């Protein structure tokens, strides 16, 4: 789960990681009021969206007059922001963060992730702050320094020294202390909130020698949301794809992809294999949809409805290996969804497993128009042929 920068900075502030004074607003009226409370000039107006690279996309504006704060807020609010991390259609900005501007002396990168190979949290620090860390990692990996945390010991002060004392030139003793304190606090946030990522880019030393987190990104491990109730309240559903949101509501594993073949499959492994075979047949999947082993008739109905609502879909492949999910339940779910929506694209069905005869019979006796495939390769071939015919 992702949260917004202003929410992450609120958590930072409460955890002893200094952040600039700021307030989030959703309208230009609020912006007018807020720029009188926040110290400036300069002020920084930042689009609050679940995507990075906002600086490059014009989503971060440094301004010098109160009226500019308002015009900057107006120019962002309600508009789509395109950054290197969004698609070409961008993401709509509903809120902007107004902050007091900071005089930056030095910029660093500081982040924490889980290193799966080492099965430990990794603190990543770099002198090359403010830049895309992926680029730094591929072009100048020697500028990135890492410390792994032994979970039973936790973050140790010497690890902070290992990172900070590699800086050249060395910051002032006061700044060194603040950087080390920030690292210890980042680890604490990472642990207590079950994060998959905590990232500060840039972490800066200001002209007056203060260490401040100018940006903040926190991702929470979805598997821990059952015990992170406070965090769950920060969830902003306006940032999500409406079809993905609907899938989430019905416990379906659905991810939108770039192609035009809608696929409904049970089991993540089979779903991935199905996508591979679709590609092998010369077509592209429009989605990943795993309805899961124990899918109910309602889940099948909703899953099928989601695919039907995706206007890019030119053909649909249902590939079900009935185990715990019985083929007759699948067939009834599909028919129910088809009652409400007229299916205008070719439908290819491949069913195997528990109650397969009954499932096939239900489909055959309906007035649903579909093609039957005996195996996965045939199914993918049929579905690819359908879209290539349409194109």
The site partner of 372 among Mn ion, ligand GDP, none (C-beta below 5 to 8 Å per kind) is: none
Q: Does 52 bind ligand GDP (CB under 6 A)?
A: yes
Decide whether 102 or 156 has the Cβ nearer to ligand GDP.
102
Contact 108, 202 (CB under 8 A): yes
**Interaxial angle between packed helices 297-309 and 327-340, expressed in degrees from 0 to 180 and rounded to the nearest 10:** 50
What's the closest the beta carbon of residue 35 comes to Mn ion, in angstroms?
A: 22
**Least Å from the CB of residue 71 to Mn ion:** 23
Handedness of CA 114, 115, 121, 125 (dihedral sign): negative
Assess whether 199 carries a catalytic annotation: yes
Among 18, 53, 90, 353, binds ligand GDP (CB under 6 A): 53
Cis upstream peptide for 42 (omega within 30°): yes
Q: Based on CB atoms, which residue is closest to ligand GDP, 52 or 346? A: 52
d(CA 380, CA 347): 11
Rank residues 107 and 221 by Cβ distance to ligand GDP and give the closer one: 107
For the CB of residue 106, give the shortest distance to Mn ion in the complex, in Å: 15
Site residues for Mn ion per CB under 5 A: 201, 215
Residue 140 token pair? 């100048």
Nearest distance in Å: CB 215, Mn ion: 4
Quick one: 52 or 262, whose CB is closer to Mn ion?
A: 52
Residue span binding ligand GDP (CB under 6 A) among the ranges 50-58, 140-148, 258-266, 303-311: 50-58
Note whether 291 binds ligand GDP by CB under 6 A: no
Contact flags string 194-223 toward ligand GDP, x per CB under 6 A: -------xx-----------xx--------
Instruction: Examine the residue annotation and report whether 30 is marked as an active-site residue of this protein.
Output: no
Residues 146-205 interacting with ligand GDP (rule: CB under 6 A): 201-202
DSSP conformation letters of 239-299? GS-HHHHHHHHTT-EEEE-SSSEEEEESSHHHHHHHHHHHHHTT--BSEEEE--TT--HHH
Question: Which is catalytic among the residues 5, 6, 68, 109?
Answer: 109
Which class for 102: exposed (0-12), middle (13-18), buried (19 or more C-beta within 10 A)? middle
The residue within the footprint of ligand GDP, chosen from 1, 11, 31, 60 (CB under 6 A), is: 60
Report in angstroms how near the CB of residue 206 gets to ligand GDP at its nearest.
9
Contacts 24+ apart (CB under 8 A), 37-43: 38/98, 38/99, 38/100, 39/100, 40/64, 40/66, 40/69, 40/100, 40/101, 41/65, 41/101, 42/101, 43/68, 43/69, 43/98, 43/99, 43/100, 43/101
130 binds ligand GDP (CB under 6 A): yes
Spatial distance between the Cα atoms of 78 and 81, rounded to a whole number of angstroms: 9
Neighbouring C-beta atoms of residue 29, cutoff 10 Å: 11
Residue whose CB is less far from Mn ion, 202 or 285: 202
Indicate the residue among 73 and 337 with the shorter CB distance to ligand GDP: 73
In Å, how far are 48, 250, 376, 377 from 352, measured between CA atoms?
Answer: 47, 24, 10, 14
Given candidates 17, 44, 278, 289, which one binds ligand GDP under the rule CB under 6 A?
Answer: 44
Give the footprint of ligand GDP on residues 88-107 (CB under 6 A).
101-102, 104
Residue 111 engages ligand GDP in binding (rule: CB under 6 A): no
Residues 6+ apart with CB under 8 A from 55: none
Bridge partners, residue 99, by sequence: 22, 44
Among residues 199, 250, 254, 305, the one annotated as catalytic is 199
Name the minimum Å distance from CB 121 to Mn ion: 21
Closest CA to 286 of 267, 252, 319, 314: 314
Backbone angles phi, psi at 22, to 5 degrees: -170, 170
270 binds, among ligand GDP, Mn ion, none (CB under 5 to 8 A by kind): none
Which of 2, 4, 54, 326 is the binder for ligand GDP (CB under 6 A)?
A: 54
Nearest approach, Cβ of residue 234 and ligand GDP (Å): 18
DSSP secondary structure code for residue 320 in this structure: E
Q: Which residues bind ligand GDP (CB under 6 A)?
A: 44, 46, 52-55, 60, 62, 101-102, 104, 130, 201-202, 214-215
Q: Name the residues annotated as catalytic.
A: 109, 199
């Amino acid at each position: 789960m992702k949260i917004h920068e202003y929410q992450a900075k609120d958590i930072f502030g409460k955890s002893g990681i200094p952040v600039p004074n700021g307030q989030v607003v959703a309208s230009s009226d609020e912006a007018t009021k807020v720029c009188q409370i926040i110290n400036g000039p300069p002020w920084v107006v930042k689009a609050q969206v679940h995507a990075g690279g906002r600086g490059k996309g014009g989503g971060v504006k440094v301004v010098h007059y109160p009226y500019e704060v308002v015009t900057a807020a107006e120019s962002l609010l309600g508009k789509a922001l395109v950054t290197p991390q969004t698609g070409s259609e961008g993401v709509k900005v509903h809120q902007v963060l107004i902050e007091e501007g900071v005089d930056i002396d030095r910029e660093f990168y500081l982040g924490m992730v889980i290193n799966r190979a080492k099965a430990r949290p990794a603190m990543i620090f770099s002198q090359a702050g403010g830049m895309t860390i992926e680029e730094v990692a591929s072009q100048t990996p020697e500028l990135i320094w890492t410390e792994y945390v032994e979970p039973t010991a936790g973050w140790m002060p010497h690890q902070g020294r290992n990172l900070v004392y590699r800086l050249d030139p060395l910051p002032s003793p006061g700044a060194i202390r603040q950087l080390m304190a920030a690292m210890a606090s980042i680890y604490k946030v990472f642990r207590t909130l079950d994060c998959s990522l905590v990232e500060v880019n840039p972490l800066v030393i200001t002209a007056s020698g203060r260490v401040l987190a100018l940006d903040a990104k926190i991702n929470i491990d979805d598997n821990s949301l059952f015990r992170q109730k406070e965090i769950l309240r920060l969830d902003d559903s306006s940032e999500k794809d409406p079809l993905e949101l609907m899938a989430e509501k019905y416990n379906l594993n659905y991810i939108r992809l770039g192609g035009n073949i809608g696929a409904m499959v049970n089991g993540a492994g089979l779903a991935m294999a199905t996508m591979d075979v679709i590609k092998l047949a010369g077509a592209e999947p429009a989605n990943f949809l795993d309805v899961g082993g124990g899918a109910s008739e309602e889940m099948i109905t909703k899953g099928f409805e989601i695919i039907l609502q995706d206007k890019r879909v030119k053909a649909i492949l249902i590939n079900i290996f009935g185990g715990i999910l019985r083929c007759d339940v699948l067939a009834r779910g599909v028919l129910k969804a088809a009652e409400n929506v007229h299916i205008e694209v070719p439908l290819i069905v491949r069913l195997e497993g528990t109650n397969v005869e009954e499932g096939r019979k239900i489909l055959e006796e309906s007035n649903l128009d579909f093609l039957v495939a005996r195996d996965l390769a045939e199914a993918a071939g049929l579905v690819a042929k359908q879209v290539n015919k349409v194109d």
